[in-house]
Structure 1
Amino acid sequence: MKLFDYDDTDINSIYSYAKKLEGMTFHEVLGEYERSPIKSYEGKLYDAYANFENMVVREKTVEYGFGASLNDKAKGQLGNFIEKYYFGYDPNGNQEADFNKIGLELKQTPIDKTKKGEYRAGERLSITNISYNEPVEEDFYKSHVWEKIKCILLIHYLRDKSIERLDYVIKFVNLFSPPKDDLKIIIDDYNQINEKIKQGKAHELSEGDTMYLGACTKGATAKKSMRPQYYGDHTLAKKRNYCFKVSYMNYVLKNYILQNNVPCESIIKEDIKISFQEYVVSLINKHIGMTDKELCEMYDRPYNNNKAQWNDLAFRMLGIKGNHAAEFQKANIVVKTIRIEENGKNRENMSFAPFKFKELVQEEWEDSTVFNYFDLTQFLFVIFKRVDDVYVLKKAKLWHMPYYDLNEIVKSEWQNYKNIIKNGVVFEKVKNVNGELEVQNNLPGMKETEIIHIRPHAQKSAYKLNDGFIKGNIERDGDELPNGEWMTKQSFWLNKQYVLKQLK
C-alpha cells in the first residue's frame, strides 16, 4: 500500500483511499506507516511514536482483560490515529472541517457486536464543543455544527474488549450527510439547545431535551469541567459538546450503513412547517374528546379492554404499528399511555426493565442505567380519562424528566437503594392473614419515595436466603444479591403520583 496517495482537494480521491481501510486493524495501519518512507501528507518526516502523548482519546475509556499497547503513552489512544498515521496530517483541533479544502469531516466511532451477532452503535458521536465564551450562532448554516456534519467521512471500527485496542478491525468506511428529513429535526434540536443556553440554563442541558442532536458532557464528574456561562448570571455549567445521540447513531448504522432493511416506519408523511415534537403531539390531539370505543371503531379495531388496547390506539393515531417509527428510534422516544380514573388518580405506576443487583452496586450515578435512561429518553404520554364506562382521550404530551428531579431527587433515591443492596438487604419472614409465610425486606416502598421505587418484576416471588430458607423458582424469578442471597427480580418504577403531577 502506498500511504498518503490521495488528493485532498478531491472528495472522490479521499473516499477511494479511505475505503482501503476496511478490514485493516489499527496495528496494520501503523505497520504501513512504519514501512513508508514518507511520514506525512506534506512529506514531513517524524518518528511514529513521538507524538502519541498528544493524541486525544475520543472513545469512552473502558477496562480490558489483557493486552498491552505500543507504550504507556499509547495505551487506549485511538482518537486521532487515522488522521495522523493514515492520512498524514496533524489533527487541527479547531472548528474547521478536517479536510478543509473541500469541507469534509473525518469521524471514527466504535460499534459493538451483540450476543445475537448484530451490530449496534457503541456510543454517541461527538461533533464540536459548545462555547461558553461567546454568543451562540443563531443561523444553523453558519454554525460550526453544520461545518462539521454537512459531509462526514464516517469510519466504524469493531470494539472488542478482550483484545488490545490497536487490534480492533475497521469495518465500514462511508461518506455520510444527514438526510433531508433528519436535518430538519437536527436544526430544531440545535435551536432548542441554543435557546436554553441563551436563557442562562446551560447547567440544565440534557441529552433527553432533544431528538437527534444532543448536548453531551465532557469530563462530566470532574470539577475542572465546570465553566461559567456566557449568558445570564454566569452560573457554572459542565463543558458540553454537540453530538449525535447514540440512538441516532444506531439508526444510522442499521439503516444507512448496513442497509439491512430493518422494518421501520416514518411518522412524517408530508412536508411540515412546525417542529417534529409539535407535529407528533398534533397527530394525537386532533382526536381529543373521542372515547376509546369511538377510536376503536374509527381504526377498525376490536374493543376488548385489554391493556394493549390503549397503546394500540396511540400507535394508530400516530399512523404506525409500534415504537419502531423511524423518528422514534432515532430520537429515543417511548410511547406510554396513561389512564386516569374519575377520581382524578392514574391507575398504575410506570415500570421499566428489570435490573441485576450485582450490576447495580457496581454503577456510579452518571454511568448508571437509571440515569442514562431518563437522561436520554423522551416519553410521549397519551392520556385518557374515565367517563362512566369508557375512557376519553384528553391530550398528548412529550415529556423529559426535569434536570432537578433527575440529578437531585432520583439520584438520592437511587443511591439509597444501591447502599441498602450493597450493605445487605434485611429480610423478615412473617405470616399473612391466610397463615402463609411471606418475606418482607427493608427496601423503601413507594410511600417512602418521591419519584422512583423498586418492586418485583417476576411471575412469582422467589427467595434463597443464607439461613437455608428457599421459596419459588430461583432460576426463573430470582436474582442474586451481592452477599450471595437470592430474592425476587426487581425493576425501577415511576411513582404514579409523580407521573400525575407531570401531566398538568
Structure 2
Amino acid sequence: MPYLYDANSKESICDFARMLEDSCVAEALDTNAMYGGMPIGEASIEWDKEYSGKGGFGQYLEEVYFGKRNNSLSKADFEEAGLELKTAPLKKLSNGEVRAKERIVLGLMDFMTIVHENFDTSHFIAKNIDILLVFYFHDPLKEYCNLGIPLVDIWNCIQEDEYQIRKDWEYIVNKVQEGRAHEISEGDTLYLGACTKGATKETAQRMQPYSPLLAHARAFCFKIQYVNHIYQILLDRKKDRFVSYIHMLNSPGNELEQIVKNKFLPYIGMNVLMICTLLKIPFKLKSKNFYAMVTKRILGAEDTQQIYEFEAADIQIKTIRIEPNGKCKESMSFKQIRYEEIIDQEWEDSDFYVELTSKFFFIVFKHDHPEDPYILDRVLFWNMPETDLQVVKQVWLDAQQKISSGNYENFVKSSDRKIAHVRPHATDSSDVMRTPQGTYEKKKSFWLNRNYIMEILNNN
C-alpha cells in the first residue's frame, strides 16, 4: 500500500493529520480506506498490540494512523521533515470550558550532558522546534479509535515565543550548572518547565555533575498553562477569531518582571481610589476581577485586550492586604476543590499543583489605621520553591484520601502549620458540590496560610 503522505514534507504530514480534525481515528481510517490491517509505513505494525498509560494514545496514533513504529530516540518522530508528533489530552469542565488535562512532555533531561549544550544547538531544539499537535478529548470509557479530536496543527515555539522559551531553558540549565539540579521546580519558569519523572522519588534519583547531591529525574515540558494557551491560539486561528494582545516583551534583553514593576512604580504609595481615578476605571473593590482589571490598565491594556505573557503563563494575580499590626489580613484562597475529579488525579496533574507552579504576581496593599484607605505598598513576582511544594503535596494527598473515603470534616487546618490548609469557600450553606459518594457537601478550597504569606513578603 503506498504512502498517504510525504514523510519529507511537514505540510504533507500535517494535511494527512488534519483528516483527524473534528473526527476520530476510526472515521479517518475508514475515509482513507486504510482498514484491513495494512501498514502505511516501512515497519510492520502489530495491529493487535495493546496501548496503555499516559502516552498510550500517542503510541497508538503514531503506529496505527501514521504507520511508524514507536521508538525512544532523541530525534524527531518524522526525522526527514524535522517534525515531532505530540498528543495533548483535553478535558471539559462543568462550566463547558475546555482545558488541557496535562503538560506536554518534550524529552528527558540528561544532567551530565546538558551542562555542555547551548540553546541553539541543544537536543531540545533539534527534537522540538516544530511539533505536530493532536488535541483529543480524554475519555477512559472510549477506545482510542473513537476519541474525539477537535484540533490538529503545527506549533513552532521558537517562531511564536523564542525569547521566553530560550530564557526558561537557560534558567533550568543554569541551575544544573550551579550544582542545584535538586532545587529545580516547575514553578521556576513561565512556558517551558522541568517536570519530575519516575514513579517514586527513591527510584528516580539521578547524579548531577557539580554536586554530590542526587536530584530527581526531570524532563522538559510545556507547562499545562502554556498548553492551554497554545490550544486557544490555534483554535482562534482555525476559527478566524481575532484576539487583541499586547506584548510586554517587545525586544530581547527586557525582563518581564522588571518591565511590569516599572509600570507599577508611579502608583506606589497611592491609595486604591486615587489609582482608579487616574486610570479612569470604576472603584469596585468587591468585583472578582477588580485587581486583574487594575493590573491590565496599569500595564497598558484596554478592557478588550489581553496581556500575552500573563495569558501564556497563566500568571496568578493575587492581592495581599497588610493590616496596621503589620500582619496579613487573611489566608490566600484557590479554586474550589472539584470533589469528583480530585480522587482520580495525580498530584502533578492536579488543579492545585498547576496553580502553585504558576508564577504569582503579588499586589501588596497596606494601611496604618483601620479607617485609612489601603495604599499600594509594592508588587513582586514569586513562585513556590520545590521544598515547599513537597510539603503542600502532603496536604493535597491528605485531602484526596479523605474525600475518597467520604470524610469531609477533618482536613488539614491552618493551625497545623503545613503551609496550606483546607476550609470552606462557599457563599452560604446552600452553596454545595456533588461528591464521589453521590452526596452534596459545602464547597471547600485549598488556602495558603497567612503566616506563610507573611514569610514570603519578609523574605522578598
* TM-score, normalised relative to structure 1: 0.76
Q: Output the amino acid matched with 2:91.
A: D
User: What residue is the counterpart of 1:398 in the other structure?
Assistant: 381
User: What residue is the counterpart of 1:65 in the other structure?
Assistant: none
Q: Output the amino acid matched with 1:256.
A: L
Q: Output the amino acid matched with 1:124.
A: R
> Does 1:325 find its partner at 2:304?
no
8 A Cα contact 2:186 2:193, kept in partner = yes
8 A Cα contact 1:151 1:177, kept in partner = yes
Q: Rate the CA distance shift 1:425–1:127 in 2: closer, same or farther, 3 A.
A: closer
CA distance in 2, matches of 1:56, 1:458: 39
User: What residue is the counterpart of 1:457 in the other structure?
Assistant: 425
Q: Write out per-residue CA displacement over residues 162-189 of structure 1, whole angstroms, 9 at most, x where no aligned residue.
A: 3122322444332321264522111111
> Does 1:340 find its partner at 2:325?
no
Q: 1:273 aligns with which of 248, 253, 268?
A: 253
Find the residue that maps to 1:224 and give its secondary structure: coil
Q: Rate the CA distance shift 1:322–1:179 in 2: closer, same or farther, 3 A.
A: farther
Aligned-pair CA distance for 1:278: 3.1
Deviates more, 1:24-33 or 1:278-287: 24-33
Q: Output the amino acid matched with 1:271.
A: S
Q: 1:104 aligns with which of 64, 83, 90?
A: 83
> Does 1:379 find its partner at 2:333?
no
RMSD: 3.5
CA distance in 2, matches of 1:414, 1:17: 43
CA distance in 2, matches of 1:112, 1:362: 13
CA distance in 1, matches of 2:81, 2:338: 49
Q: Rate the CA distance shift 1:27–1:307 in 2: closer, same or farther, 3 A.
A: closer
User: What residue is the counterpart of 1:13 in the other structure?
Assistant: 12
Find the residue that maps to 1:184 and give its secondary structure: helix
CA distance in 2, matches of 1:110, 1:305: 37
User: What is the percent sequence identity of the aligned residues?
Assistant: 33
CA distance in 2, matches of 1:14, 1:478: 48
Unmatched tracts of structure 2, length 5 or more: none
Find the residue that maps to 1:460 and give its secondary structure: coil
Q: Write out per-residue CA displacement over residues 81-113 of structure 1, whole angstroms, 9 at most, x where no aligned residue.
A: 333334333344222222223322222222334
Q: 1:297 aligns with which of 254, 277, 280?
A: 277
8 A Cα contact 2:57 2:87, kept in partner = no
Aligned-pair CA distance for 1:190: 0.8
User: What residue is the counterpart of 2:131 in the other structure?
Assistant: 152
Aligned-pair CA distance for 1:242: 0.8
8 A Cα contact 1:281 1:398, kept in partner = no
Larger Rg: 1
CA distance in 2, matches of 1:258, 1:304: 31
Aligned-pair CA distance for 1:499: 0.5
Find the residue that maps to 2:361 and give its secondary structure: strand
Q: Rate the CA distance shift 1:338–1:181 in 2: closer, same or farther, 3 A.
A: farther
8 A Cα contact 1:267 1:318, kept in partner = no
Q: 2:235 aligns with which of 257, 274, 277?
A: 257
8 A Cα contact 1:174 1:257, kept in partner = no
8 A Cα contact 1:228 1:234, kept in partner = yes
> Does 1:411 find its partner at 2:393?
yes
Aligned-pair CA distance for 1:330: 1.6
Q: Write out per-residue CA displacement over residues 328-387 of structure 1, whole angstroms, 9 at most, x where no aligned residue.
A: 22212111122223332222221122225566566665554433432x222100112325
Q: Write out per-residue CA displacement over residues 389-417 of structure 1, whole angstroms, 9 at most, x where no aligned residue.
A: 34333321111122212202x23444555
Aligned-pair CA distance for 1:136: 2.5
8 A Cα contact 1:128 1:241, kept in partner = yes
Q: 2:145 aligns with which of 166, 178, 182?
A: 166
* TM-score, normalised relative to structure 2: 0.83
Q: Rate the CA distance shift 1:368–1:156 in 2: closer, same or farther, 3 A.
A: closer
Aligned-pair CA distance for 1:325: 2.9
Q: Rate the CA distance shift 1:424–1:121 in 2: closer, same or farther, 3 A.
A: closer
8 A Cα contact 1:3 1:87, kept in partner = no
Q: Output the amino acid matched with 2:220.
A: Y
8 A Cα contact 2:248 2:307, kept in partner = no
User: What residue is the counterpart of 2:46 in the other structure?
Assistant: 48
8 A Cα contact 2:244 2:305, kept in partner = no
Q: Rate the CA distance shift 1:164–1:362 in 2: closer, same or farther, 3 A.
A: closer
Q: Output the amino acid matched with 1:84.
A: E
8 A Cα contact 1:133 1:229, kept in partner = yes
Aligned-pair CA distance for 1:272: 4.8
Q: Rate the CA distance shift 1:100–1:366 in 2: closer, same or farther, 3 A.
A: closer
CA distance in 1, matches of 2:166, 2:305: 23
